Chains A and B, each alone.
Chain A
Amino acid sequence: MILTDLHVAPARFTDATGWAIKPEGACRAELCVPLPAASRTTDDRVDVRVVADQLGMPLVHDEAHGFWALGPETRTGRALTSAQAPPLELPDFDENPFQLSSLLGQKVLLVAWASW
């Protein structure tokens, strides 16, 4: 997730990371990680630095170019936090957004490939 401001709307944080910000904490599938009060700003945005710390997400600051890059969580020590497929939205080749969850009810074989 690329950020130019470390305070973001909860929905944007969820879309980018798959972690929902709820009263009980940051949640993904069956796992909820409690968050301190400081994780929400007074205007109800997410303080990414605080949440990243709780979820073990690395934050790279590129000061020269004025942005941060947020990496994935490391709490479980595995790339998958849960066997439930994470929310994934990617564009197609016409730049239309596609949500993996739209295929619920079918078996899905997701294949990562590349031109290189």
Chain B
Amino acid sequence: MVLAFFVRGPIVDRVSDEALRGQTIVGGIALLLGVFSISQVHWRRIASGHADRGYSAILLVCLVAMAGFGTVQGVEAGGVFDWLFERLQAPMMATMFSMLAFFIASAAYRAFRARTITSAILLLTAVIVMLGRIPMGQYVYDGLPAWTNWIMTVPSVAVQRGIIIGAALGAASISLRVLLGIERSYLGRG
């Protein structure tokens, strides 16, 4: 893959294209490992008489139903698989994440304290940005949207860029270690 970046030619391109195609296939099949793993865990709970075995049974029934409908009927719109996704799974996932709003409000009241100058800077900036990004903000103070834009495009960009560069250097060096055989933890023990 590194060679394909620098060298173009029929053989390199063909090998690279086949490797990419192979990666998508192997990566997709790898996702099934997770499905088997969760099935194993909950089957063991039922077999061992765990207190929550009833819930595990429900989980496995839903898993088999969804997988079954998807495999037999297909995954397109209009089928039971799609109905289960659109009407149950997707809304439930959205609901779970929406609960974070409550916890963030609770944390704002109980935990966010301006105990030091640095934390005061953080909270003050957060208040300016939260006010500047809502329609009511400009009624509080006319210049808030402009201040917010400046915060987002100068100091915030500077720090985010520093983090991007630092993280990219880290990712590149880890990848190099993998390619050179120095990093072998992904192979597991032995």
User: Do A and B interact with each other, yes or no?
Assistant: no
List A residues at the B interface (Cβ < 8 Å).
Answer: none
